[in-house]
Chain A
Amino acid sequence: ETGVTQSPTHLIKTRGQQVTLRCSSQSGHNTVSWYQQALGQGPQFIFQYYREEENGRGNFPPRFSGLQFPNYSSELNVNALELDDSALYLCASSLAGGPSNTGELFFGEGSRLTVL
């Protein structure tokens, strides 16, 4: 069983640039969620995709956008980067549906973005 993988693990960008973060879901999972975690804080929900459609969004501006592909891998795109976008970005996959499913999130190791 392949776990959740994210790339890149670290990257540095300058203010105003654009960034794309990638996530490969755990095998068999149909839902992917993205979180932003600033240093010393809890993960903040950005959005969630289920079967290639966004089905939930947190309090993030439209310059945060995403995609989910038919193989359930996903991308997080952030345009016009700001200094406050510096954070650890976590991808988590899960399985929606099923009688005994808890909806547990399986996390990747994250992509650490630094905006200068």
Chain B
Amino acid sequence: AQKITQTQPGMFVQEKEAVTLDCTYDTSDPSYGLFWYKQPSSGEMIFLIYQGSYDQQNATEGRYSLNFQKARKSANLVISASQLGDSAMYFCAMREGPPGFKTIFGAGTRLFVKA
């Protein structure tokens, strides 16, 4: 069965520092996709970054990078140079199978960026 685990309910980071948000997943399907989404207090879900199970390189998108350790089944999000606007809920998600299969979400981590 699919499962996504985010063990950090809340995280604090100083502005301009880097922060790592943890995510582990469980699947028996060799083909899957991993996502990170940001949800500000407004409620809208914003896509941040994607990693496919067959991708050899870790994904990067601007200040976001995904530390993909396939053998450990982890997909941690690294945010570099944190900004006050990064304060939000962050969700790790997994699609088990090719595009068109369902995506499930973890419980989320609330990130607080301090000035």
Instruction: Say yes or no: B44 contacts A107, CB within 8 Å.
Output: yes
A48 on interface, CB distance cutoff 8 Å: yes
Instruction: Say yes or no: B44 contacts A45, CB within 8 Å.
Output: no
Total residues of chain B contacting the partner, CB 8 A: 25
Q: Which of A43, A90, A95, A103 contacts B95 (CB 8 A)?
A: A103
Instruction: Say yes or no: A88 contacts B43, CB within 8 Å.
Output: yes
Instruction: Say yes or no: A101 contacts B99, CB within 8 Å.
Output: yes
The main secondary structure of chain B at its interface with chain A is strand
B78 on interface, CB distance cutoff 8 Å: no
Q: Determine the distance from Cα of A45 to Cα of B107 in the docked complex, in whole angstroms.
A: 12
CB within 8 Å of B: which A36-53 residues? 41-45, 48, 50
Residues of A near B68 (CB, < 8 A) are none
B112 on interface, CB distance cutoff 8 Å: no
A104 on interface, CB distance cutoff 8 Å: yes
CB within 8 Å of A: which B99-115 residues? 99-108
Instruction: Say yes or no: B103 contacts A42, CB within 8 Å.
Output: no
Q: Determine the distance from Cα of A103 to Cα of B95 in the docked complex, in whole angstroms.
A: 8
Quick one: closest A residue to B42, CB to CB?
Answer: A109
Residues of B near A90 (CB, < 8 A) are 45
CB within 8 Å of B: which A73-106 residues? 88, 90, 92, 94-98, 101-106
A31, A42, A105, A107: most-surrounded residue (chain B CB, <10 A): A42
Instruction: Say yes or no: B47 contacts A106, CB within 8 Å.
Output: yes
A16 on interface, CB distance cutoff 8 Å: no
Q: Which of B98, B102, B108 contacts A45 (CB 8 A)?
A: B102
Quick one: closest B residue to A94, CB to CB?
Answer: B99
Residues of B near A97 (CB, < 8 A) are 99-100
Q: Determine the distance from Cα of A62 to Cα of B43 in the docked complex, in whole angstroms.
A: 27
Name the distance in Å between A88's Cβ and chain B's nearest Cβ.
6
Quick one: closest B residue to A41, CB to CB?
Answer: B107
Q: Determine the distance from Cα of A110 to Cα of B108 in the docked complex, in whole angstroms.
A: 18
The 6 listed contacts between A and B (C-beta, < 8 Å) are: A33-B103, A42-B105, A55-B100, A96-B98, A98-B99, A104-B50
